[in-house]
Structure 1
Amino acid sequence: MSILAPAATRSARTRLRPLDIRNVRLDPSGLLGRRQRVNGEATIPHLVEQLERTGAVDNFRRLAGTSEADFRGLLFSDSDVYKTIEAIAWEMGRTGTTAFDAWLDEVIGLMAAVQQPDGYLNTWIQGVHPELKLQVLAWNHEMYMLGHWLQAAITLDRATGRRDLLDLAEKFVTLIDRTFGPGGERDGIPGHEEIETALVELHRHTGEERHLRLAQHLVDQRGKGILDGGNMGQRYFQDHAPVRESFDPTGHAVRQLYLNAGVTDLVIEGADEALAEAMRQQWERTHERKMYITGAFGSRHRDEAFGNDYELPSDRAYAETCATIADLQWTWRMSLIEDDRRHADVIERELHNALPASLDDTGTRFFYSNPVQRRPDRFSEGSAPAERVEWYECPCCPPNIARVIAQLSGYVAATRPDGGFELLQYASCEIDLPAGTLRVETDYPRSGLVRLSIEGDAPEAAVGLRVPGWVTSGRVRIAGRDRAITADELAAGRVELSGSDADGAEIEFDLRPRWTASHPRVDATRGCVALERGPVVYCVEQVDLGESAQVDDLRIDPTVAVNEQADQPAGEDAIAPPLAVSATAWTDARPLLRDALAEEERSDEHQVDVRLVPFATWGNRGPGAMRIWLPRLSEH
C-alpha cells in the first residue's frame, strides 16, 4: 500500500521524507490530537450534513435522474464534495472508520453514472451550461475541481485500497492531457490552480510520467496571457509572467499559494534550478513581506488577493482560511527540500494561530476570513461575518480545514536520507520506529517541556529535536544530566541526539511572554506591539474588558511585567494560559482631528488591567471587538 502522508515523495532531491500518518498517532487528550478527534467526531459529519442540506450532492442526483431539484450552490460546488471525501479518506486511514462507507458508495456511484464517455464531469456545466464545457478556463474551475477529485481519490486508494474513485478521475485527466497537455489540441491553463500538485501526486502514486509532464506543461504555459483576465487582469490568475521570472506573490492569494505548492512538487521531482530559485524567492517575499503575524495571507477583500509589500491592514484583513492551508502545504514541501528553520516555524505559527482560529470549539462553525482586529461597529459581510457560522455560500474553507486536520500527524515528524529522524512539531504522540516506538509527552505549547521515551529498540541513527526560532534559552536532559541549549544549537534550530540518548531525553524551552514590534513599513500597525508566548499569538477581546475600557482605546507599555493568569476558562487551558498586563486607556474619545503639537491632557486616561487570550480562541464567547496589535504608550 502506498504511503499515506502529505507530499508523499521518495525523490532523491528531498532532505526529509514524510512519515505515514498511521505511524504517527496523536494523543487524543493532547492539543493536536484533540483537534483530530473533534474533526472526526463532529466536523466531518457536519460537512456531510451540510453538503446534503445545501444541494451539493443533490446536483449529482439531478444529473442521474434521481432528483428533480434545481441546481444549487456555486458553479464549483463539486469541489466541496471532493474535499470532504478526502477528509474522510484521511480519517479512514488514521482510524479505520467505516462510518461513511454508505455515503461514499452512493456519491462515487453517482459520479460513475453521470460521468461523460470522454471522462468529463462537472454538475454545473452538464446540468446548466453544457455549451461552456472547457471553454471558460479563467472562471469555471474545471481543472481546479479535478485537482481536488484527484487528491481525494489518491488518498482513498492509499488509505483503503479502494480504486474506483481514482479510475474515474484518471479518465478526466486523460481528457485534459489530450486537450491542453503537451501537443494537445489547444492552449489552456486553469484559472484557479490546484491541479498541478494533484498531478504530481498522481505521478508518484501510479509511476506514470505523463502526469508529471502535464503538470510541468501547465506551469510552463503561465505568463503567455492565455487566460482572459477581464477587469481582474492577468496578475489575478498568475498569468502575467512566466513562473521562472515571478518572484513576487501576486493576485488571488489562494491561487498563488496552490500554484507554488505544485511548482515545488515539480522541483522535488527534478525540475530545473530556475523553478527552484523562483520558489525560494517567492517564499522569502511571501513570508517576510506579506504574512500576518497569525500565519494568514491576503490583505484585500475585493479579489481575495495579496496586496503590495507590507500592505497588511488589521481590521480589513481578508486572510482567507484557505490561504493559510495552501501556504501550509507549500511550506511543508519547501521544508522537504531546503534546510531552512523558518519553514517549520511558519507551519507552527499556522497550526497554533490562523488555522485553529478558523473554527470554534465544537468544530462546526467556521471563519472564512480572519481579521487580526475586529472593530466594535464592524458589520457582517458575506465571507467576513462578525462571528463564525456553520456554512457559507462559498463553502470552500470548511472542508479544506477538515482535510488538513485529518492529516495533522503527517506534519509532526520526518526521516532523513541517512536514516536520521526529526521531530518537527511538538505534540503528545506515539511514533513507530524501525524496531520500537517513540513516545512524546508534552503539554506544548502551554508548557515548553517535552519528554521522550522509547519502547523497544532505540533507533541507530540520530534524532533531531527542533528548536523554534522564537526560543532564546532552554535546557536539554540527556542520560539524566541537564545542560543548556547551546548558542550553536539555537542558531541551527536543532538539538541532535544519538538514538540511544533519545530514551528518557527531555527538552524544555523558555516560554516567557514577549512583546513583538510591528515592521515600520506596515502602516496599519506602525508603533504597535503584539504579545506572544512561544508560538501562540495573543489578543484582547472586549468581553474581558467589560465597561472598564474599550479595546480600541488601549495603549501598552511593553516594559511592564506580563503575568500568567490563574483563572482558566473552559477550553483555553488546552492552548496556552491567558496573560494579564496593565494598560493605559482613554475614558473619552478624542477628536478625530487635533493639534499634533498640543499638550495632551492626562486627566482623560486611566490604568486598566487587561486580560489577553490566545488568538486561536477568540470569538468563542460571542462577537465583539478584538485586536492583536496594541498601540505603544508614548512618552509624555
Structure 2
Amino acid sequence: MTTTSPATGPVSPSTSALRPLPHGALRLGAGYWGAWQERNGSAVLRHCEDWIERIGWAGNFDGAATGAPFEHAGIEFVDSEVYKLLEAMAWELGRTGDAELQVRYERLVDRVAAAQDDDGYLHTAFGRPWQRPRWSDLEWGHELYCMGHLIQAAVARLRTAGSGRLVDVAVRVADHLVVVFGDGGREAVCGHPEIEPALVELGRATGDVRYVRLAQLFIERRGHGRLGPIAFGPEYFQDDVPVREADVWRGHAVRAMYLAAGAVDVAVETGDADLVAAVERQWSNTVATRTYLTGAMGSHHQDEAFGADFELPPDREYGETCAAIASNMVSWRLLLETGESKYADLIERTLYNAVMVAPRADGRAFFYANTMHQRVEGAVPPEGDLSDRALSSLRAPWFAVSCCPTNLARTLASVESVFATMTDDGLQLHQYGDLDIELTLPGGAQVGFRVRSGWPTDGTVVVEATRATGIPVALRLRVPSWAGEATLETPDGSRQVAGEQTVTVERAFVPGDRVVLRVPVAARLTAPDPRIDAVRGTLAVERGPLVYALESTDLGRDVGEVVLVADSVPEDDGPDDVRVWLRPRSVRADGALPYGATSVDDGAAEPVRLVPYASWGNRGPSTMRVFLPVG
C-alpha cells in the first residue's frame, strides 16, 4: 500500500491554517537538537532495543506466533513499547537510511507480523485459549491502546518509505477494528486513549475515511460512563463528561491529552469547529491553572493525574515524561489548526524542561516522573536492574512500566517536525537551532534557508536565504512570550519587536539575504501565582526558555538549608554560570514542634551556581529545588 497524503511528520491534517513541512525538507544540523537526534539514533534506540529483548517483551511476539502456551513477559501493554520503538526506528531510517538499522527494523517487524491473527487482531496478552478473551478488560487491558501505537508506527513507515510490511499489518488491524467497533458494532471505548489519533492519521495517510469515522465514534462515546467504576472515579478515564462539554483536562494526565489530540484530529477531518473550540478551551484553562513552570502536567502520584486548580506541589510533582510529550502532541495540532504562536511557546517550554529532563546525558537512563524539588539524595539505580519509575532515585536504565524511554525515542526521532510550517505563500519558524530548509511552497515558490542559532542558550537567530524565491515569500518568526526585548534585523533595516508574538519579513529573497532575530536570554526571576499554595513566597530563575535549579552539588549542603536573599538579582555570565545570592535558613534546634516565632538568620550571603533544570542529577545524587524561598 502507498500513501495518498503528503509525506510529512507524525501529523498531517487535510486542512489547517498552517501545514507541516514535507518529510526531509528540514534537516537539523549541529547544536542542541541535532546532537540529541544523533544520540537518539546511536544510543537511545539501541538501548531500548536491548532492553525489550533482554526482558522478553519482543519475545512475546515469538511466543504468540507459535500458537502454543507461553509465559507472557511484562504487563499487558508492553506490546506498545515495541511499537513505539518501531516508530522511532522508522523516523530514524527516514532521516539516515542506515543499512544496519534497516536490518534490525525489518527483523523486528517480521516478528510482530508473525503474531497477527487471521482476522487482523494483534495482541500478545489476550485472545488465545490460555489467555483472557479479547476485549474482556477494556478498562485496563490496553488492547486498543497498543494497536494505536502499532498504527502510528506504520504511519511513520508510510511517511518515510511509502510502504512496508508493518503498514500491511496495521491496515489489517484497523480493518478488524472497524468491524468490531464501527457503526453497528460494539459501542465501547478503551480505558487508555491512543487509538483515536492513530486511526485519524492512518485515514489521512491512506485516504480510507472509515478509520476517521471510527475515531470519531470513539471520541463521541467517551464521557458516557461506558467504562467500569474504579476508585479514582470516572474522570480518571475521562469517562465522566463528553469531550466537547469538558472545560479542563482532568484525571490521568497522559490519557487526557492523548484523547484531546485525537479530538483535534477528528474535529479537523470532520469540520467540527465546536469540538476544536472545546479542546482550545481545555488547553487554555489547563495551562492557566494546572501546569508546572517547566510545562509538566500531572501533580498526583497515586493516579498519575491532574490535581485541582493550582494544586502544583513541586516536591510531590509527578510530571510524567509521557504527559509532557502528550501535551506537545495537543499543542502542535492546535498550532497547525489555528496558527496561534502561544501553542509553540508551550511546546518550547515543555520540550526543553519537561521532556528533556528525562534522559541522562548519555541517553541510556531516564526519569519517569519529574519532580522540581528533590528533598533527599536519590540513589543511583544499578545499570542492569528494572526500576519502579525512579520516584526517589536518579535516572534509571529501564522500568517495569517503561512507556517513557520509547516515547522519548520516537519524539527525538521526529522532533524536527515541530520546528517549522508552511502556507501557500510563506514559511513559519516556530523553534530555533541549527537547521536547513529546502522545499517548494504550495504556492509554487522554491525556498531555501539556512538557520543558525545557539538556542536555547543564545538568543540570536540568523536566517540566511540559500536560493532565490523568484516571487515574494512571507518569512515569519516567533517572538517568544518570555522575551522582554527583541530586535529584528532585515535587509531593509532593524526595529524593536518586543511584545509581538510573531514578526514577518515579506520579500523576494535572493541568496545571501539575512534576517536576524535577537532575543536577550539573560537570567530572570519568576514569581509563582499566589494561588499555588505550595510555592507561595518563593521565586524561580529562568534564562531564555530554560528553567534553572539549585543542586546540593553546587551548594555543598542540602538545598533546604538556604533562602534566596530578598531583592537580589541573578548574576548571569553565561548559561553555565548563572548564580543567585543565598544565605542560611533559620533552623529551630530546641527539639520542640517545628513551629514558633519567626527568627532571621544573620549568616553571610554567598553566590551559588544554578544549573538548567533538565540537566540536574547528571553529576550524581543530590538534593534539588527550582523554587527558592525568599528571606
Asked whether the two chains share a fold, i.e. TM above 0.5, the reply is yes
Matched residue SS, 1:226: coil
Deviates more, 1:382-391 or 1:306-315: 382-391
Name the CA shift for 1:593/1:491 in 2 (closer, same or farther; >3 Å): farther
Q: CA deviation at 1:172?
A: 1.9
Are the counterparts in 2 of residues 365 and 391 from structure 1 also a CA contact under 8 Å?
Answer: yes
Match status 1:348 vs 2:348 = yes
CA deviations 1:108-133 (Å, max 9, x no partner) are 22233221111111111146853321
Give aligned-pair identity as a percent: 37
AA aligned opposite 1:253:
A
Q: Does the 8 Å contact 2:435/2:450 carry over to 1?
A: yes
**Post-superposition shift, 1:341?**
2.4
Hey, what does 1:214 align to over in structure 2? 214
How many pairs does the alignment contain?
613
Q: 1:594 to 1:88 in 2, by over 3 A?
A: closer
Q: Which of the numbers 536, 557, 569 marks the counterpart of 1:526?
A: 536
Q: What residue is the counterpart of 1:176 in the other structure?
A: 177
1:163 Cα offset (Å): 2.6
- 1:52-451 pair list within 5 angstroms: 52-65=53-66, 70-126=71-127, 130-184=131-185, 186-376=186-376, 382-383=388-389, 384-416=391-423, 418-434=424-440, 435-451=446-462
Seen in structure 2, the aligned counterparts of structure 1 residues 128 and 375 have a Cα distance that, compared at 3 Å, is: farther
Match of 2:95, as an amino acid? R
Offset, 1:276: 1.6
Q: 1:470 aligns with which of 482, 486, 504?
A: 482
Counterpart amino acid of 1:454?
A
- Deviation at 1:101? 2.6
Matched, 1:580 2:579: yes
1:21 Cα deviation from its structure 2 partner: 3.9
Residue number in structure 2 paired with 1:573? none
C-alpha contact (below 8 Å) 1:451/1:507 kept by paired residues: yes
Equivalent pair of 2:158/2:205 in contact (CA under 8 Å): no
Distance in 2 (alpha carbons) for counterparts of 1:614 and 1:49: 30
Q: Is the CA contact 1:331–1:343 (under 8 Å) kept in the aligned structure 2? A: yes
Instruction: Return the alpha-carbon distance in structure 2 between the equivalents of residues 409 and 348 of structure 1.
Output: 12
Structure 2 vs 1, CA of residues 25 and 312 (structure 1 numbering), >3 Å: closer, same or farther? same
CA drift at 1:10:
4.6
How far is 1:464 from its partner? 0.3
Output the TM-score relative to the length of structure 2.
Answer: 0.93
**Counterpart in 2 of 1:569?**
none
Is residue 500 from structure 1 mapped to residue 501 from structure 2 by the alignment?
no
| Range that drifts further, 267-276 or 72-81 | 267-276
Give structure 1 stretches of 5+ with no counterpart.
Answer: 567-575
Hey, what's the Cα distance between the residues in 2 that align with 1:364 and 1:583? 34
Quick one: distance in 1 between partners of 2:598 and 2:330?
Answer: 51
Partner of 2:491: 479
Aligned to 2:559: 551
Amino acid aligned to 1:559: D
* Distance change in 2, residues 1:500/1:179 (3 Å): same
State the shift of 1:271 in Å: 3.7
| Structure 1 match to 2:443 | none
- Report Cα offsets for 1:8-47 as digits up to 9, x if no partner: 43533x11001134111101x2111111010001101111
Identify if the C-alpha distance between structure 1 residues 6 and 158 changes in structure 2 by more than 3 Å, giving closer, same or farther. closer
User: Could you tell me how far 1:565 is from its partner in structure 2?
Assistant: 4.2
Query: 1:452 matched to which residue of 2?
Result: 463
Indicate conservation of the 8 Å contact 2:55/2:73, yes or no: yes
Change (3 A) 1:587 1:246: closer
Cα-to-partner distance string for 1:269-326 (whole Å, 9 max, x where unaligned): 1342321221111101111111111111111011111111111111111111000001
Tell whether the 8 Å contact from 2:219 to 2:243 is kept in structure 1 after alignment. yes
Aligned partners of 1:504, 1:291: CA distance in 2, in Å? Answer: 37
For residues 496-531 of structure 1, what are the alpha-carbon distances to aligned partners after superposition, in whole Å with 9 as ceiling and x for unaligned?
443428821211011121111011111111111100
Q: How far has the Cα of 1:216 moved from its partner?
A: 0.3
Q: Which residue type is aligned with residue 550 of structure 1?
A: D
Q: Deviations over 1:552-607 (max 9, x none)?
A: 122113632322246xxxxxxxxx333011112227456774665x352434x331
Give the whole-Å Cα distance in 2 for the aligned partners of 1:407 and 1:173.
24
Tell me the residue number matched to 1:563: 571
Residue 609 of structure 1 deviates from its aligned partner by 1.9
- Decide whether aligned partners of structure 1 residues 129 and 4 sit closer, same or farther in structure 2, where only a CA change above 3 A counts: farther
Separation of aligned partners in 2, 1:196 and 1:187 = 14
Pick which of 199-208 and 64-73 moved more. 64-73
RMSD of aligned alpha carbons: 2.1
CA contact (8 A) 1:469 1:493 kept: no
CA contact (8 A) 1:229 1:236 kept: no
- Aligned counterpart, 1:47: 48
